[in-house]
Chain A
Amino acid sequence: GDSVTQMEGPVTLSEEAFLTINCTYTATGYPSLFWYVQYPGEGLQLLLKATKADDKGSNKGFEATYRKETTSFHLEKGSVQVSDSAVYFCALPFSGGGADGLTFGKGTHLIIQP
């Protein structure tokens, strides 16, 4: 079935460091791809998305490019802040036969130190 695999955490960086969180996917066809973020004690919220190959999603300084050649959707940010500390989830839709929803990776806990 469709799935996403993301790098294990926690990832600990210093403020202003460059961030990459890897995400690869297995899917039939070319589904939309998503990154969600979960701040402590809160629910998930959409960070960015890309709907087709070679699209780049961006928001709040984060970017991710949909690469079908490598089946990847890595999340990047040039200069992280303490406020970026959160858990980040890569996701893609599953559907078919009436099913519907998003499949999430296990999440990557990002810790930014001042």
Chain B
Amino acid sequence: NAGVMQNPRHLVRRRGQEARLRCSPMKGHSHVYWYRQLPEEGLKFMVYLQKENIIDESGMPKERFSAEFPKEGPSILRIQQVVRGDSAAYFCASSLQRANTGELFFGEGSRLTVL
């Protein structure tokens, strides 16, 4: 049973370009979470999705960031017009149940570098 798969593992973008990060949750998991980890900081919650629905996006910047989890295919975190401050590791996690009752399974992360 494959774990949470994220790609790309490393992504380099120049300022102003778009970054698109993909996450395939574990089989059978319908809850997907995106977190951002900045150097020397902890993980910051960004968004919680279920299939075709954004449930909570309170941690995601209102400008330039968007997320989706379509009926078919992986969840996508999209960052438009990237800036240097977007450089971070972005982690996706999935769960079988809601996070307050179950375990989150994390992918290995996508490390974005903005030049």
The contact string, 1 if C-beta is below 8 Å from chain B, for chain A 27-57, is 0000110000000011111100100000000
**Contact: B41 with A43, CB < 8 Å?**
no
- Give how many A-B residue pairs fall within 8 Å (CB-CB): 65
Contact of A32 among B42, B101, B106, B107 (CB under 8 A): B101
Chain A interface secondary structure, helix, strand, loop or mixed?
strand
**Contact: B107 with A99, CB < 8 Å?**
no
26 contacts between A and B (CB under 8 A): A41-B108, A43-B91, A44-B91, A44-B104, A45-B105, A89-B42, A93-B100, A94-B100, A95-B98, A98-B55, A99-B48, A100-B31, A100-B48, A100-B55, A100-B98, A100-B99, A101-B56, A101-B99, A102-B33, A102-B99, A102-B104, A103-B45, A104-B35, A104-B43, A107-B42, A107-B43
Q: In the bound complex, how far is the Cα of B33 from the Cα of A95, in angstroms?
A: 13
Tell me how many residues of B have a C-beta within 8 Å of chain A: 26
Q: In the bound complex, how far is the Cα of B6 from the Cα of A58, in angstroms?
A: 29
For B91, give the chain A residue with the smallest CB separation.
Answer: A43
Which B residues lie at the A interface, using CB under 8 A?
4, 6, 31, 33, 35, 41-43, 45, 48, 55-56, 58, 91, 93, 98-101, 103-109
